[in-house]
Amino acid sequence: MNRLIALAAAVFSDALRRRVLWVVALFALVLAAAIPSLPSYGEGVDDAVYREISLSLVYVAAMVVALVLAATRIPAELERRTAYTVLVRPVRRWEYVTGTWLGIAATMAVACAMFGAIVFATGWVVYGAPMPVLWQAVAAIWMEACVVAALCVAASTMLSAATVAVLALGFLFVAHVRADLLGGPGNPLWRFYPSLDTFNIIAPVAHGSGVSASYLLVMALVFAAWVGLLMLAAGAAFSRRDV
């Protein structure tokens, strides 16, 4: 466990110092502040629309950061040989990939908290009341970003950063079109489809009162299952690789 924490702490420290995180945060801040002034926001602006657009913005920002951090991390460490001195320590390959993912997940937590704080504060200032339900969606976005990061980490043990990024974007697309492709739960393939729809709670958060605690628990279980499966695959693939 100490080795996982040490690896995660190093990845976290390194990732927080990358410009991409802060550039995306600044971009999100500017856009979030601009949403209420869009032409469609006249008198009697609907705060639900604000929540929907701002959460979509958080989603895109989180996915960009997750892709940049996770798709490039291991390929860059192997190419620059910075992984050598780590892997010759008493570190198992699965610990290396899991520690890397944990560090990225922690960075994503900071990033999502930052993005969430921006849209929360902007909404409070503009509409005069806090919107705590936003945090449910921010948590869901963080989980989905972490699943995408796990996919990137797993794939990057075998593929180049560019290939991983394309693969992850393709996965994100496929993972959100289950209903369009299969119709509904009546389709026998429905349960086996690699969907991330569980994490898409922007609509109930924006236009309703959010989701129940039991749904949040299901979401956490789905998150754990995805990450566990991908980390197992990553550890198995990386343990066979010559570096």
Partner 1 sequence: MSKTPGGIAIEIQGAAKRFGGSKGRVAVEDVGLKVTVGSVHGLLGPNGAGKTTTLKMLLGLVGPDAGEFRILGEPNGPTARAYVGFLPEQPYFPPLLTALELLTLHGRLSGMASGDVAVRARELLDRVGLAGREAERLAKYSRGMLQRVGIAQALVASPEVVVLDEPASGLDPVGQRDVRNLMMELKDAGTTVLLSSHQLSEVEAVCDEVTILNRGRVSAKGAIDDLLNVAGRTSVRARGEARSLPAEIQALMEDVAVSGSVWVFSVPDSTVRTVVDLLDDSGWAIESVLPKRQSLEEYFSRMLERTESEVVS
Q: Which residues bind partner 1 (CB under 8 A)?
A: 2-3, 5-7, 9-10, 13-14, 17-18, 77, 80-82, 84-92, 240, 242-243
> Based on CB atoms, which residue is closest to partner 1, 18 or 176?
18
Distance CA 73, CA 151 (A): 13
Closest CA to 87 of 73, 79, 97: 97
Q: What does the block give as tokens for 29?
A: 């801040």
Query: Closest separation between CB of residue 201 and partner 1, Å?
Result: 34
Query: Closest separation between CB of residue 69 and partner 1, Å?
Result: 12
> Based on CB atoms, which residue is closest to partner 1, 3 or 176?
3
Closest CA to 115 of 195, 200, 197, 58: 58
112-146 exposure pattern, b = at least 16 Cβ within 10 A, e = fewer: bebbbebbbebbeebeeeebebbbbbbbbbbbbbb
> Based on CB atoms, which residue is closest to partner 1, 6 or 48?
6
Query: Closest separation between CB of residue 86 and partner 1, Å?
Result: 7
> Based on CB atoms, which residue is closest to partner 1, 26 or 84?
84
Query: Closest separation between CB of residue 97 and partner 1, Å?
Result: 14
Q: What does the block give as tokens for 202?
A: 């922007």
> Based on CB atoms, which residue is closest to partner 1, 10 or 60?
10
Closest CA to 35 of 146, 140, 134, 136: 134
Query: Closest separation between CB of residue 175 and partner 1, Å?
Result: 31
Closest CA to 202 of 126, 117, 116, 130: 116
